[in-house]
Structure 1
Amino acid sequence: MSNEVAVFDAKYPENWVVMQNKITQAFREMSIDEKRIIILASPLVRLSKATEQTPIEVTASQFADLSEIDTHSAYKQLKAASKKLMKRTFVYEDKDGDDTEVQWVIRSKYANGYVSMYFTDEVIHLLKVFDSLNPYTKYLKEDILSLRLTYSIDLYHLAKKYQGMGGFTMSLDDYRKELGTPKSYTRINNLKDNAVDAPIKEINENTDINLSYENIKRGRQVVGFKFTVKNKPKPKQVLDSKRDSYTADMFTIDGLNDKQLGRIVRNPAFMAEYNHLVTPTSSAGQSQQGWDFEMVKRLKEDASQFGKRPIRDYLDY
């Protein structure tokens, strides 16, 4: 891998996580908080001209909001996880076919309310170069950060990677290796309970997909799993007897919470259709956070100005 980082691809907005598929192998044995840091850092690296000299800042408030914990706890967890990342390494095969070991983070700074990290060029490459030679997987940040269990993030990434194919098959040994499970998971019951059944339940309850599996057997012995990945069906809209009343309701924000409103204003279609409402010099035109704050505020004040399509349609992307 060259030290020169290729030109970044900024076509995916900030609310998307995009990573090379190789990164899941580097995730092995990481704590869930370490994985969350990489997930939060992903769009920050992708949408910038980051190098090894560029600080990537993850704030406690971001970590708290997306992980649904209080800010004080978030900073403690964020700092502890970043310290672990300083000691983490992973191995890749270079252009000569030789194994090369590299650190995730070469320097960290702990300030009031945020952690600033400097990633190695190899990590930056994994987070911003996506092409036929570097296959990748993408998903919404809020979906993956809703997951709490140790192996849910890894299994979700695998499921999204193979979603277009309808699923994937893995031997038990390959599955254990992919997730970096401990030796105690050589027992099939331990593996299923902690690294298959529980993560699948959490993924199905909190994300955009439904995941199921069946055993692959050789005789009576389980030797692998066959996973099936399906898109969640969109909820059917039940028409009211009074069509006009129903249509009017679709252009209001009644019943929508702040998290749903944030998801709506971050929808790429919403951003494209209402970008003309802000000037380049306004706070909404300067950053994603500024856009989110301003647009949610406008929705709450007068949702009728956003009439190009039913408001709830923007939740389905």
Structure 2
Amino acid sequence: MSDNKLVSKANALNEAAYTINLVAQRVIILAIIEARDQGVMSKVGGVHRIKASDYQKHFGCDKTTSYRSLKSACESLYESEFVWTDKDARGNTKVNHSRFVQRASYSEGGGYIEVMFGSDVIPLITRLSEKYTEYELKQIKDLSSIYALRIFEILMQWFSVRKTPKIKIEDLRARLGIEDHQYKTMGNFKKRVLDHAIREINDNTNITASYEQHKEGRNIVAFTFYIKVNKDKSQKKKIDGLLGTNAENGDLFTVKGLSDKQLGRIARNPQFIADYNHLVSSTSPAGQDTKVWELEMMNRLKKDASQFNRRPIQEYLDY
């Protein structure tokens, strides 16, 4: 599978509301490409195989991590739903609740997973109308947060006019998969979601993005995003902030300055456990003993914090 392959999806799917992690979103993208390559324009039951070696190639991680990530994504994808809208026969807006896949499988020792899209997804990725979003796979290979990826897709939907319409804050949060208890204050939302995502897009793709906020009184109620094309800007490596060398982002994505006590709090955090329980086997000591889990995660955080990129590391101190 080439990095130049196009990812195409109907705008209805691009605008859908769902909560999903970065690896699962990447799997969906690879499966969309695989589905279109197979020409399954109406074959609902098509099975699409994603190899760990392909994931490794496109997203820059070692093969073992690739397979573990795919296995975790396989388990979470089956439970994931998305909410999307269309029109009924009378032109009324119809809200639909659907699942991405009707089956997800992984091969122990085979180095691959297989997904079978749900019946509602097939028309949204194959029988595309004039209303669809498209971009090259290589554009998103170095995006390391789910928020950056989702915002990038929003930008690509409106790429031809170089700006989005006003997007209400509640609609934006839904499209980014942000739950009610997360980033409650606007300052938190902007700093830890929007600003970081925009920096990551600007540093890792060939577009530059910015946003304008719209207020009613003192309250921010909507955002408009703007897009500029940088024709001479080559794809960069992952931003330094994820590795702890960028001072501006270091407070969010490194463990620098954190004590062992704070690292222990992070490792014990239920959200941290939910985000990274796929890193250890359920039969291993760390998978069976909470104290061993805590010590192992503390050591991993100190050794290489960049692998913990589901959300800003220090955010786990705020839960």
TM-score w.r.t. the length of structure 1 is 0.64
Note the residue ranges of structure 1 that are not aligned, 5 or more in a row.
1-12, 237-317
Deviation of residue 216 (structure 1)?
A: 2.0
Q: Which residue of 1 aligns with 2:140?
A: 144
Q: Which residue of 2 aligns with 1:62?
A: 54
Indicate the SS of the match to 1:22. Answer: helix
- CA distance in 1 between counterparts of 2:6 and 2:227 reads 20
Indicate the SS of the match to 1:54. Answer: coil
Instruction: Please state if 1:177 is matched with 2:174.
Output: yes
Q: Which residue of 2 aligns with 1:84?
A: 76
Which of 209, 222, 227 matches 1:211? 209
- CA distance in 1 between counterparts of 2:133 and 2:230 reads 18
- CA distance in 2 between counterparts of 1:82 and 1:173 reads 29
Indicate the SS of the match to 1:186. Answer: coil
- CA distance in 1 between counterparts of 2:144 and 2:151 reads 12
Structure label with greater radius of gyration: 1
TM-score w.r.t. the length of structure 2 is 0.64
Q: Which residue of 2 aligns with 1:72?
A: 64
Indicate the SS of the match to 1:153. Answer: helix
Deviation of residue 95 (structure 1)?
A: 4.3
How many positions carry a matched residue from both structures?
Answer: 223
Q: Which residue of 1 aligns with 2:23?
A: 33
Q: What per-residue deviation string (whole Å, max 9, x for no partner) do you get for residues 27-70 of structure 1? A: 62111111000111111111223323321000001111111110
Question: Which stretch shows the higher mean deviation, 34-43 or 93-102?
Answer: 93-102
Q: What per-residue deviation string (whole Å, max 9, x for no partner) do you get for residues 153-189 of structure 1? A: 1100111111211212223222222222122323101
Contact 1:88 1:103 survives alignment (8 Å) = yes
Deviation of residue 102 (structure 1)?
A: 3.0
- CA distance in 2 between counterparts of 1:73 and 1:85 reads 18
Tell me the amino acid that sits aligned with residue 120 of structure 2: E
Tell me the amino acid that sits aligned with residue 209 of structure 1: I
Contact 2:7 2:134 survives alignment (8 Å) = yes
Deviation of residue 99 (structure 1)?
A: 4.7
Contact 2:82 2:98 survives alignment (8 Å) = yes
In the TM superposition, what are the counterparts of 1:1-317 in structure 2 within 5 Å?
15-26=5-16, 28-50=18-40, 51-92=43-84, 93=86, 95=88, 99-111=95-107, 112-132=110-130, 135-168=131-164, 169-183=166-180, 184-234=182-232
- CA distance in 2 between counterparts of 1:54 and 1:208 reads 34
Over aligned residues, Cα RMSD in angstroms? 2.4
- CA distance in 1 between counterparts of 2:21 and 2:175 reads 15
Contact 1:14 1:43 survives alignment (8 Å) = no
Note the residue ranges of structure 2 that are not aligned, 5 or more in a row.
235-319
Tell me the amino acid that sits aligned with residue 109 of structure 1: S
